[in-house]
């Protein structure tokens, strides 16, 4: 393998010279055509991985789900890279912009990657939607499945630093494509029923326990100050969006998703906020319900 050969050669070369600093690796992230990870980034294939001492590479540049692609971060820089193997990120490029798909949360162990060492992540890409996602997608250490991936360009990224945590952050990215149909958002399996009354659709979830209920209200709005754009691959992993957005048919202005025991704050929403999805603006807010009516 070329990268492994490079590690051996770099080990010999570094025996008689100083290891490169972070400022000598990659390019400024602001000048790269890759996700905004770190202060400087090594992005493959934008950068030839054989031309740098440390890089993240993929064993395939195109996959057709279901398929597994392995990403390898190899360190031949002559010094230890401080990183977190859980803190990888999968991005998708839409209309020229990069959107982080998953994960949402991860453990935070400081993990050293010594010179001459490598770490691999095996990502199994699936087009089918996850049947019952939560609010968050948890990171995995070495292997896992990401469902709900439509066709398009993606990037797998990691980051780290040499020396102190205050030193320049290095980003590493490997771009690849997914050959699949466009993703269509559908509700999760945990619904009991849905009914429409004029411009309002009420969706009821299958809840557990006898505690109070709450409703998530999603409504169309005409304008918003700073809406966050949400792409289908992001919404696929959020049960709140899965159980509301697909019900916006012609003439529907508001969708109520009613659920038992959703936790506090209800649906994880403290204050209303707006999103842009499929060219439409929506406001999301949550309310506690005190009775069994409604």
96-126 pLDDT, tens per residue? 999 999 999 999 999 999 999 999 999 999 9
> Do 206 and 154 have their domain in common?
no
Q: 151 and 65: one domain?
A: yes
Looking at the structure, tell me whether residues 77 and 105 fall in a common domain: yes
Residue 215: inside a domain: yes
Q: Are residues 200 and 156 in the same domain?
A: no
What angle is formed at CA 82 by the lines to CA 122 and CA 19, rounded to 5 degrees? 110
pLDDT score for 10: 45
Is 6 within the bounds of a domain?
yes
Domain check: are 220 and 133 in the same one? no
Q: Last residue of a domain, which of 128, 152, 178? A: 178
Over residues 55-84, the pLDDT tens digits come to: 999 999 999 999 999 999 999 999 999 999
Q: Which residues pair with 256 in a beta bridge?
A: 202, 217
- Are 275 and 228 in contact, with CB atoms under 8 Å apart? yes
100 is a domain residue:
yes
Q: How far are the Cα atoms of 77, 186, 220 from residue 255, in angstroms, in the given order?
A: 54, 14, 9
C-alpha distances in Å from residue 218, one per residue of 73, 121, 244: 42, 37, 7
Strand pairing report for 152-161 and 170-178:
antiparallel
Give the start-end residues of each E strand in the chain: 27-28, 40-44, 54-58, 62-63, 67-75, 81-83, 89-94, 97-102, 111-113, 118-125, 143-146, 152-161, 170-178, 191-197, 200-205, 213-220, 228-229, 254-260, 273-277, 280-289
User: Which pLDDT score, from 0 to 100, does residue 208 have?
Assistant: 54
Q: Are residues 195 and 172 in the same domain?
A: no
**Residue whose token pair is 């055509």:** 33
Q: What percent of the chain has pLDDT over 70?
A: 90
Q: How many domains does the chain have?
A: 2
The verdict on residue 185 lying in a domain is no
Q: Is residue 110 part of a domain?
A: yes
- Domain assignment present for residue 254? The answer is yes
- Entry pTM: 0.90
Average of per-residue pLDDT across 29-52 = 96
Do both 173 and 260 map to the same domain?
no
Cα gap 240→267, rounded to integer Å? 7
Pair 49, 109 in one domain: yes
- Are 23 and 154 part of one and the same domain? yes
CB proximity list for 202: less than 8 A, separation 6 or greater:
194, 195, 196, 255, 256, 258
**Residues 135 and 18 occupy one common structural domain:** yes
Q: Which domain holds residue 53?
A: 2-178
The Cα 214–Cα 130 span in angstroms is 24
Same domain, 43 and 115: yes
184 located within any domain: no
Same domain membership, residue 121 and residue 51: yes
Does 179 or 260 have the greater pLDDT score?
179
Q: Using an 8 Å Cβ cutoff, are 70 and 104 in contact?
A: no
Q: pLDDT band at 289, cuts 50/70/90?
A: confident
- pLDDT digits over 227-269, tens only? 999 999 999 999 999 999 999 999 999 999 999 866 789 999 9
Does residue 183 sit within a domain? no
Confidence of residue 8 (pLDDT cuts 50, 70, 90): very low
């Amino acid at each position: 393998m070329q990268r492994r050969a490079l590690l051996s050669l770099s080990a010999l070369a570094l025996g008689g010279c100083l290891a490169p600093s972070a400022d000598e690796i990659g390019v400024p992230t602001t000048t790269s055509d890759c996700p905004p990870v770190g202060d400087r980034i090594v992005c493959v294939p934008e950068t030839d991985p054989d031309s740098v001492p440390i890089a993240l590479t993929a064993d395939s540049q195109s996959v057709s789900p279901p398929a597994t692609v392995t990403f390898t971060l190899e360190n031949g820089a002559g010094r230890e890279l401080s990183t977190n193997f859980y803190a990888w990120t999968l991005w998708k490029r839409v209309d020229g912009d990069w959107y982080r798909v998953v994960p949402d949360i991860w453990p935070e162990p400081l993990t050293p990657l010594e010179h001459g060492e490598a770490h691999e992540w095996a990502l199994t890409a699936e087009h089918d939607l996850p049947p019952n996602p939560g609010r968050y997608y948890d990171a995995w250490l070495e292997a896992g499945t990401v469902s709900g991936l439509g066709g398009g360009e993606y990037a797998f990224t990691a980051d780290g630093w040499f020396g102190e945590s205050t030193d320049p952050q290095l980003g590493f990215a490997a771009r690849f494509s997914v050959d699949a149909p466009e993703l269509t958002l559908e509700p999760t399996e945990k619904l009991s029923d849905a009914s429409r009354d004029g411009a309002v659709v009420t969706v009821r979830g299958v809840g557990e326990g006898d505690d109070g209920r709450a409703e998530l209200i999603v409504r169309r709005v005409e304008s918003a100050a700073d809406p966050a754009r949400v792409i289908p691959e992001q919404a696929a992993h959020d049960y709140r969006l899965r159980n509301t957005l697909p019900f916006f048919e012609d003439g529907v202005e508001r969708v109520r998703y009613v659920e038992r025991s959703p936790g506090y704050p209800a649906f994880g929403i403290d204050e209303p906020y707006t999103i842009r999805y499929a060219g439409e603006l929506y406001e999301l807010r949550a309310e506690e319900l005190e009775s069994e009516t409604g």
